[in-house]
Amino acid sequence: MEEAGPKPKRPVSSLCCLCNNRKAALKRPKTLQQICRECFYEVFEEEIHQVIVKNQLFRPGERIAVGASGGKDSTVLAYVLSELNQRHNYGLDLFLLSVDEGITGYRDDSLETVKRNEIQYGLPLQIVSYKDLYGWTMDEIVKMIGLKNNCTFCGVFRRQALDRGAAWLKVDKLATGHNADDMAETVLLNILRGDIARLSRCTAIITGEDGPIPRCKPFKYTYEKEIVILRSWTTSPPSAFILPMLIVVLLVNLLRIWNESDLGPFLTSLNLARISGFPLQQKCLSKGRVNDVATFQARNGVKLVFCSRA
């Protein structure tokens, strides 16, 4: 009987290609470099700093609201901006701004995360709710209009709520956690809709400069996978949560594309006349564009004007 040959040796784990000292912990999705955890934190934060500097996103003394939903993107954005503001002396006054849509079982846990971020990063928190702004919660709106197209209503309400919350805080800019994957999805959706006008401006790193409060996207060039990795490392062992989080991210993004790609006719007409007590106006007054606009009469008597296009 032939003797078995020597067992092949397991390959030795490679060292970090940046520091050549510590063992590599991951292969970066963006650059395919094998780097350690410490170097990943360093290069991730440095890339965001370079994006901020090159695009002149902020000026010293500005008041910046971070759109905080309690998800991975906004949580990592709050952490990074807080760190960079201290490290590079941006001179910014940072605030957390969160929206409570009034959806039972959906927003409760994420709001608790935002409140923990307030304590952890030492940033003041402002929470605005649909109930206070419009006299309706999202649950009440769904009961009236049904389940179809309720995500469109919620998105329109949320944009308006962020604008009004930012106005209350008297901030100069609103920073959101939109990343490179979000930008790619937006381009794809606008192509599917044939919306050339929005396609030409949807990838801008700063939007709404002609309005009262511009919005900026410091994560425009950041991959969503890397945000997931950074977020998981700050809360739990990476092997336990990275794969499930990536699966959830993939499913959510696929559902978003599936649902929104069929909303072209609805978004261009926004026929709200069938909703009792909600009159419809056909000309945009706030944006100055000829788009369909819904004017909602809230329970508290306040008229709310919303464009059907961002």
Q: Are the C-beta atoms of 184 and 217 separated by less than 8 Å? A: no
Q: Tokens for 215?
A: 């919005």
What is the reported pLDDT for 210? 84
β-bridge partners, 23: 15
pLDDT at 244: 52
| Cβ atoms of 51 and 180 closer than 8 Å | no
Q: What is the reported pLDDT for 241?
A: 43
Q: Give the pair of three-digit tokens for residue 218.
A: 């410091």
CATH 3.30.70.20 for domain 55-307, yes or no, is no
The domain segmentation of the chain, as residue ranges, is 15-54, 55-307
pLDDT in tens, the chain (310 residues): 455 555 555 444 689 999 999 999 989 988 999 999 999 999 999 999 999 999 999 999 999 999 999 889 999 999 999 999 999 999 999 999 999 988 888 788 888 889 999 999 999 999 999 999 888 888 888 888 877 777 777 888 888 999 999 999 999 999 999 999 999 999 998 898 888 888 878 889 999 888 889 999 999 999 999 999 888 876 544 433 444 555 555 666 566 555 555 444 434 333 333 333 333 333 444 444 434 444 444 444 444 444 444 3
Token pair, residue 192, equals 């599917």
Task: Decide if 157 contacts 149 (C-beta within 8 A).
Answer: no
Report which DSSP code applies to 25: -
Largest CA distance in the chain: 92
What pLDDT is recorded for position 96?
96
The pair of three-digit structure tokens given for residue 132, joined into one six-digit string: 């206070």
Residue 151 CA from chain centroid, whole number: 16
Contacts for 143 with CB less than 8 Å, ≥ 6 apart: none
pLDDT tens string 165-180: 999 999 999 999 999 9
* pLDDT computed for residue 235 by the predictor: 55
Report pLDDT for 247: 59
Contacts of 73 (CB under 8 A, 6+ apart): 177, 178, 179, 219, 224, 227
CA distance 177 to 49: 15
Q: Is the pTM for the entire model greater than 0.85?
A: no
